[in-house]
Structure 1
Amino acid sequence: MNSEQEIANSKILSNSIILKVLGKNIPFSICSIELHKQWNRFGNFHLTSLGLNWILFSFKPNDVMEEFLSGGPWYIGGHIVGLDKWLPSFSPLSLKGLTVPVWIRFPLFPLNCWDEVNIARIALRIGTPMFLDGNSLNWSKKEFARIYVRVNLESKLPSGVWVDGLGGHFFQKVEYKKLSSFCFHCSRIGHLESNCPERVFKKATHNDPTDTVNQETSHSSI
């Protein structure tokens, strides 16, 4: 490859974001209409279809990227949008690096842990804390703590985390809000349990005809 040309191409793409609608194959034309409606306030931008339901979001203002990445969560047709800065290592065949910002809740949260520092420390076990819901610090209602985090799509989302506090070792349950494409089998975002790659692989392995052949061969040799 011509490295100088690669560097020049990468410079053009340095102010771009790659994104993917998770959980459903929505046509690019519909995605384009919806994204222009939601992101019109970010100014002029250009959308490019990359195949496999990936979209390249390119814009000129340098200060827009961080505002865009820290905003959201973004949805199209009720399905959450995963996104990340474009990098030369990007591959449409992988979700590596792709993240989504989501609201999470800690129900029945211990009162002695109810502060910005401790809530954020527990949230770090799930993703990168972005900001805390101000109502969570309101003493008129203490049903759950609520915090906004950015999670990696390659990581499994735990149903809860073990925490050591003044009251001892306890399990804190975690609730994820508005994840229409969350798989309860592998605990990942991007597909439903009925379409889980792990389940499909296990089923295919269990029904592998070579297993039957091997068993028949084994029986005949006894």
Structure 2
Amino acid sequence: MSLAMDRALMALSLDEEDTPFEMPDLPGFSSAEENKLSLMGRLLNPDRQKMSTLIIQLPRKWQKEGRVRGIVLSRERFQFIFNSEHDLQDVLDKGVQTHNEWAIVLERWTENPPEDFLQYIPLWVRISNIPVNYYTVEALTTLGDFVGKVDLVAYDPTKPITQEYVRVHVKFNVAHPLRMSKVLTFKGKSATIHFNYENIQKRCFTCHRLNHEKDLCPLEIRKRQEAAELRRSKVVSNPTVRKPVLADDDPLKGVLSEYQVGINPANGRPRIAKEVLEEMRRYLIADTGEDRVIKEYKVKKSVSVAESDPIAQKLVLQLEAPPLVTKELNKGKGLVFDYSKKDAYRSEPEKISSEGKLMAGAITAYHHSARSEPEAPRGLIQDESDGSFSSFCPNYPTGFSSGFCESGSAGIVGKKQYQRKRPPRARRAQRKLSEEERNLLLSENKREGKQEVGSKKRKCLREEEECSTTNKAPCLKAIPSEGLPNAQ
């Protein structure tokens, strides 16, 4: 089987042309009848105009949704088929059409299109700064011909002109640039007329064409290429020559090479400091009784030995101080939090509470922890009611801990605990009544008919008056109603 396939492939010729297929000229194969109510179009800047978006948006823009159907023919060309002649003609009467602010070409379909098909767009041109002696139809037609073929002039010599321009309708070739001005000469004088175009939004501002932007303009590209070529030619013709460190009359010339005394590309610093080079020059010039050859040999030898050791090269040749060494590994890091001592702080309150519940024990434990860890904040607060510790704040944490610490203007500070406002013990002792006074008051209350309820004693009036802190207003006695006052 494979042998037969190989023979068949060898019998084929690569130069053999395929016979073209002739499309049948039958009614079912041709859509010419349907295309009679259609418009053909072309995108002028397909890089900035998306074809799929155009097929959807143009019927909405024309207000013909449901009455026109778009077809994509290629990357640049498209077709719109209308349901009625009126809608088709209404779109043509709108003039130049744009999509994504770039112009498009629209022409009615023809079965045999000419060579310049989809090459012209209708434009309204405003001609301004016209000389006063040339407001005629013939002169305006001649001026409009500089832009395109004029087919309509909007001018009435019998009516006043309220604008500073005259409008002409032209058939513009999209392969040509938009002319912005034209210089005229008449009777030894000159004038510059200006052209403005209606409904033209975007164009190249260098060559004024409608098919590309300024960055992609061939003139701009050629200008950039010429500028780059000029820069390259300058670099080649005038190469940058570095000034040598060792001059011709330098004593070190021939002793050390330019590479040894030049700039080190790794760090951008000289390989040999200027001070060291000056000392070498003085040594070679000085009259020490040694031969010149011996001096040069010593200089070369010392430099080669220093270059072999990076540390010696920095110290001897570059005169750079060696770095300092510290055993403090966290030097310059700021506040370092040690979480390994977290369990020790947690076990401290249990130890204090087991020893005793006195204030002295708490203070002793606090001083002990403060001496062992100077960074620990004041967190031991004791309540006098039961003698137990109400809260304990460990070393300042890096995270948030509710109820212990809070932020302040000077950093993290201990949160103030609420303390009950209570008179001192000495003042409260003075307010207590003696046993005899209490019995006397009780006996008086019994004579007045008052008695004790259960085993609880009523508070004495004196203690109630002195120790009461209520802010309520005293109860006023009600005055009985005695009727209306006597009439005077």
Q: Summarize the Cα distance change of 1:100–1:48 in structure 2 as closer, same or farther, 3 Å threshold.
A: same
AA partner of residue 182 (structure 1):
R
Alignment of 1:15-164 (within 5 A): 15-23=37-45, 25-40=48-63, 44-59=67-82, 61=84, 68-86=91-109, 97-133=118-154, 138-163=159-184
Corresponding position: 1:194 with 2:215: yes
Q: For residues 27-65 of structure 1, what are the alpha-carbon distances to aligned partners after superposition, in whole Å with 9 as ceiling and x for unaligned?
A: 334323321123345983321112324321233656765
**Partners in 2 of 1:10 and 1:90 — Cα distance?**
19
Pairwise CA distance, 1:153: 0.5
Aligned-pair Cα RMSD in Å: 4.3
AA partner of residue 124 (structure 1):
D
**Partners in 1 of 2:185 and 2:66 — Cα distance?**
47
Q: For residues 120-170 of structure 1, what are the alpha-carbon distances to aligned partners after superposition, in whole Å with 9 as ceiling and x for unaligned?
A: 232122113343446897525252212232211012222233556678665
AA partner of residue 20 (structure 1):
R
**Partners in 2 of 1:103 and 1:19 — Cα distance?**
20
**Partners in 1 of 2:183 and 2:89 — Cα distance?**
32
Instruction: Give the equivalent residue in structure 2 for 1:176.
Output: 197
Instruction: Tell whether the 8 Å contact from 1:96 to 1:153 is kept in structure 2 after alignment.
Output: no
Instruction: Tell whether the 8 Å contact from 2:124 to 2:197 is kept in structure 1 after alignment.
Output: yes
Where does the alignment leave 5 or more consecutive residues of structure 2 unmatched?
1-19, 237-488
Give the number of the structure whose alpha-carbon radius of gyration is greater.
Answer: 2
Higher mean Cα deviation, 58-67 or 73-82? 58-67
SS in structure 1 of the partner of residue 220 of structure 2:
helix
AA partner of residue 42 (structure 2):
K
Instruction: Tell whether the 8 Å contact from 1:102 to 1:149 is kept in structure 2 after alignment.
Output: yes
Instruction: Tell whether the 8 Å contact from 1:45 to 1:59 is kept in structure 2 after alignment.
Output: yes
Q: For residues 54-105 of structure 1, what are the alpha-carbon distances to aligned partners after superposition, in whole Å with 9 as ceiling and x for unaligned?
A: 32123365676565434322233433322234466699xxx97422222222
Q: TM-score, normalised by structure 2?
A: 0.35
Q: Summarize the Cα distance change of 1:64–1:150 in structure 2 as closer, same or farther, 3 Å threshold.
A: farther
Instruction: Tell whether the 8 Å contact from 2:123 to 2:169 is kept in structure 1 after alignment.
Output: yes
Q: Summarize the Cα distance change of 1:36–1:3 in structure 2 as closer, same or farther, 3 Å threshold.
A: same
Q: Summarize the Cα distance change of 1:108–1:122 in structure 2 as closer, same or farther, 3 Å threshold.
A: same
Question: Which has the larger strand fraction?
Answer: 1
AA partner of residue 161 (structure 1):
K
**Partners in 1 of 2:96 and 2:157 — Cα distance?**
19
**Partners in 2 of 1:42 and 1:145 — Cα distance?**
36
Q: Summarize the Cα distance change of 1:202–1:166 in structure 2 as closer, same or farther, 3 Å threshold.
A: closer
Q: Report the count of equivalent residues.
A: 208
SS in structure 2 of the partner of residue 174 of structure 1:
strand
AA partner of residue 78 (structure 2):
I
**Partners in 1 of 2:154 and 2:185 — Cα distance?**
23
Q: Summarize the Cα distance change of 1:194–1:135 in structure 2 as closer, same or farther, 3 Å threshold.
A: farther
Q: TM-score, normalised by structure 1?
A: 0.67
Instruction: Tell whether the 8 Å contact from 2:177 to 2:207 is kept in structure 1 after alignment.
Output: yes
Instruction: Tell whether the 8 Å contact from 1:97 to 1:152 is kept in structure 2 after alignment.
Output: no
Instruction: Tell whether the 8 Å contact from 1:136 to 1:145 is kept in structure 2 after alignment.
Output: no
